[in-house]
Amino acid sequence: MQDQVLPLPDTYSYNNDSTNLANDTWVEFFDTPELVALIDSALRHNPDLNMGLQRLEMARADVMYRRGLRMPNLSIEGWGGQARTAENSVNWAGNEGGTFISGDPLNPTYTDYYLGLQTTWEADVWGKLKNRKKAAISRFLASIEGKHLVTSNLVADIAAAYYQLVSLDHQLEAIQETIKVQEGALDIVRVQKEAGRANALAVQQFEVQLLKVKGMEREILQEINATENLINYLTGRYNTSIERNSGDLEDVFSVSLSPGQPAQLLLNRPDIKQAEKELEASKADVRAARAAFYPTIGLSAGAGYNAFKPDLLFQFPQSIAFNLFGNLSAPILNRSAIKSEFHYANAVQLEALYNYQKVILVAYTEVSTELANFENLKEQYKLKNQEVDILTNSIETSSELFKTGRASYLEVLLTQQNALEARMELIEMKQRLFQSRINMYKVLGGGWR
């Protein structure tokens, strides 16, 4: 069935670099000490990750259980009791007047005691138990990859939240600087009103603009609070101050993307490896379901001490008892149920195959999309940076023209508003560039090492 999987292209459209950044550990990839400390805390305390570790232990226990089923079952058995045989029954016929080897007379009412070992074993001739064990091992390996996937997502989520927080700090700083500029402009227009060079409407417009920006300041503060709470949740702790470096967004063009070759996704992406192991498990399930059509061969044996009186129980060899049985059973009337189980296992296998194909296709698409996204964001950033430079200079120009009466207060307000919006967008674009790099690291299969 593997030949039905669509082969991956040799390269990506936007980048042919053979170096793969997914091979870097998360400590190597994220070189910011504050971020590294947060990720380390999350990997030790995140509740979702800890739950994943317990699912891993469940899968490990299932492997041990399936392995144990292939081994003979040995148990100690002991019992004692009293019974009476009906004198008119065939079991008592001929025993009247008889005696035990010890000389005690036979009696319809008797006691019996036993202590010994009993073993049973199913001969796995057709490989049913072996394939069930293989399926359990594959699912255990899949659960390991599932844990790696949770780790990769967690590392990416922490990094994204951290850079979002740093970005919000920059936006807050831009807003607070704008507030100072607008407070100065408001003072100027009030002076001009006193001098008769501006009217009350101009003062009101500047006041409204200042209040609007102060409202934006409160929105950013709330977003900072929400992001800090998210980071604290991901790191498994309650309200704790988040240490961060405000300079982490400055060198935006130091980031680079090295996607390697598409075939490396099969080795690095935990979700692909998880889907592959699930496919292997489903194949083993099909083989085990097919084996259920064949006869089951078993062996049981026991040996121990058996006597009608406790003080005779350990006499040797008079109290020694043993049994040895072989059994063979084959389904006749319930074959429809076995057929249904076999068809179900086949359907699960096909579903696992299609899921494997889907995961590979999604992985390649995500990498290809993120490569294009990063390149386009870089060009957008360059254009937005030029826009911010021009608008920043225009604030001073409009203010000087307004002072000399050559620009209206509306032009000043519009310039300040446009400059603030452009600066906020530039900060957000910086954050999106870092987010794109984080996304690329994750979709290439990085973050779990």
Give me the residue spans of the domains in the chain.
2-70+124-295+332-443, 76-121+296-329
* Nearest Cα residue to 414 out of 426, 427, 401, 404: 401
pLDDT band with cut points at 50, 70 and 90 for residue 267: confident
Q: Do domains 2-70+124-295+332-443 and 76-121+296-329 have the same CATH topology?
A: no
Q: Is 236 left (phi over 0), alpha (psi -120 to 50) or beta?
A: left
pLDDT digit string (tens) for 397-409? 888 887 777 878 7
Overall average pLDDT of the 321-325 stretch: 92
Q: For residue range 110-143, what is the model confidence (pLDDT) as tens digits?
A: 899 999 999 988 888 888 888 988 998 999 899 9
List own/partner pairs for 197-200 with CB under 8 A and 24 or more apart.
197/405, 198/409
Lowest pLDDT segment from 192-196, 364-368, 405-409: 405-409
Residue 1 has pLDDT above 50, yes or no: no
Mean pLDDT of all residues in 341-363: 93
Phi, psi of 259 (to 5 degrees): -80, -10
Tell which residue, 217, 209, 147, 167, has the closest CA to residue 395: 209
**pLDDT in the model for residue 213:** 92
For residue 289 the two structure tokens come to 């379901």
> Does residue 158 contact residue 235 with C-beta atoms inside 8 Å?
yes
Among the residue ranges 77-86, 359-368, 402-411, the one predicted with the least confidence is 402-411
pLDDT band at residue 156 using 50, 70 and 90 as cut-offs: very high
pLDDT (0 to 100) of residue 257: 73
pLDDT at 400: 82
User: pLDDT value at position 4?
Assistant: 61
Res. 210 pLDDT band, cuts 50 70 90 = very high
| Residue 312 confidence (pLDDT) above 60 | yes
- 76-121+296-329: what fold? Outer membrane efflux proteins (OEP) (2.20.200)
Is pLDDT above 90 for 332?
no
CATH number belonging to domain 2-70+124-295+332-443: 1.20.1600.10
Strands (E), 38-97: 73-84
Q: What is the pLDDT of residue 248?
A: 65
- The DSSP 8-state label assigned to residue 99 in this structure reads B
pLDDT of the residue at 416: 86
CA–CA distance, 201 with 206 (Å, rounded to integer): 9
For 273-293, what is the mean pLDDT?
Answer: 92
Inter-residue contact 291 to 127 (CB < 8 Å): yes
